[in-house]
Amino acid sequence: GAGVSQSPSNKVTEKGKDVELRCDPISGHTALYWYRQSLGQGLEFLIYFQGNSAPDKSGLPSDRFSAERTGGSVSTLTIQRTQQEDSAVYLCASSLIGRSLQGGTDTQYFGPGTRLTVL
Amino acid sequence: DAKTTQPNSMESNEEEPVHLPCNHSTISGTDYIHWYRQLPSQGPEYVIHGLTSNVNNRMASLAIAEDRKSSTLILHRATLRDAAVYYCILKVAGGGADGLTFGKGTHLIIQP
């Protein structure tokens, strides 16, 4: 079946430009997550959506980062005025339940990621 | 979320069993133990999870200590494709952080 897809797979941009990264979750999954992984580093959680709502945006690195989700499906992560330190692989994941009493058993399915390079 | 501790790296031979340990001495009663792995140049993938009892699935087995302060992921017969970084993660039922907290994981090297 169709998994989580992300586009573009690679994005090269110049410092100061804005970029949009897209995530298509698995159909029917309530929850959607964004992470980033810098070269040689672990995965850093950025933001989580339950439906179209993001209960906690405190993981976003700066106010240049924003994300939205529409129709309980597709999500877009936008980075304004990109900086070289934004270069990383941005990963999206979705899960069936998200935050709930059964959330401990919820498993996340990851997309292949978007590799962002800021020159 | 409670913290986990894993060895930085482990090495094994192809077609032999692999036991990947994880310590989580501050685990709470409602924390589930999840394992994910990340193959080179790919996003993480779910492997297995458990609460108290040992668990088996087509990918691996999870052995959980009686006091739940540690667990072991068991790959019964490693293949070259199992070379990856393995992450042991505690997930709180209900509230708590919504994203997974990935540590540094264990880099598993498989020798042919």
Please state, in angstroms and rounded to a whole number, the distance separating the CA atoms of residues A98 and B95: 10
Q: Is the dihedral of CA A66, A70, A73, A74 positive or negative?
A: negative
Residue A103, pLDDT score? 66
CB contact under 8 A, A42 and B103: yes
Quick one: which H or E segment has residue A2? none
In chain A, which residue's Cα lies nearest the Cα of B95?
A99
A-chain CB neighbours of B43 within 8 Å are 4, 91, 93, 110-113
B-chain CB neighbours of A105 within 8 Å are 32, 49, 93
Continuous H helices in chain A? none
- Which residue from B31, B43, B92 is facing A110, i.e. has the nearest CB? B43
**Minimum distance, in Å, between the CA of residue B94 and any CA atom of chain A:** 4
Residue A79, pLDDT score? 98
Structural contact between residues A110 and B44, judged by C-beta atoms closer than 8 angstroms: yes
Strand order in the sheet with A19-24: A5-7, A19-24, A75-79, A65-69
Residue B92, pLDDT score? 76
**For chain B, how many residues are written?**
112
Please state, in angstroms and rounded to a whole number, the distance separating the CA atoms of residues B85 and B75: 13
B3 or B84: which leads in pLDDT: B84
pLDDT, tens only, A59-109: 899 999 999 999 889 999 999 999 999 999 999 999 987 766 666 778 899
Structural contact between residues A65 and A74, judged by C-beta atoms closer than 8 angstroms: no
- Which residue from B32, B98, B104 is facing A48, i.e. has the nearest CB? B98
Please state, in angstroms and rounded to a whole number, the distance separating the CA atoms of residues A70 and B90: 30
Closest to A6 measured CA to CA, from B43, B33, B10, B30? B43
B-chain CB neighbours of A31 within 8 Å are 98
Residue A105 at interface with chain B, using a CB cutoff of 8 Å? yes
CB contact under 8 A, A104 and B31: yes
**Minimum distance, in Å, between the CA of residue A83 and any CA atom of chain B:** 23
Compute the mean pLDDT over every residue in chain A, rounded to the nearest whole number.
91
Q: Which amino acid is at A36?
A: R
Query: Residue A56 corresponds to which tokens in the numbers above?
Result: 């906690």
Closest to A31 measured CA to CA, from A5, A8, A54? A54
Query: Residue A90 corresponds to which tokens in the numbers above?
Result: 């941005």
A90 has which bridge partners?
Answer: A36, A114
Burial of B47 (0-12, 13-18, 19+ CB in 10 A): buried
Please state, in angstroms and rounded to a whole number, the distance separating the CA atoms of residues B71 and A116: 36
Residue A55, pLDDT score? 81
Query: Residue A82 corresponds to which tokens in the numbers above?
Result: 């990109």
Query: Residue A100 corresponds to which tokens in the numbers above?
Result: 């709930």
Please state, in angstroms and rounded to a whole number, the distance separating the CA atoms of residues A28 and B16: 39
- Which residue from A45, A103, A110 is facing B93, i.e. has the nearest CB? A103
In chain A, which residue's Cα lies nearest the Cα of B39?
A112
pLDDT, tens only, A1-60: 589 999 999 999 999 999 999 999 999 998 999 999 998 778 999 999 988 988 878 889
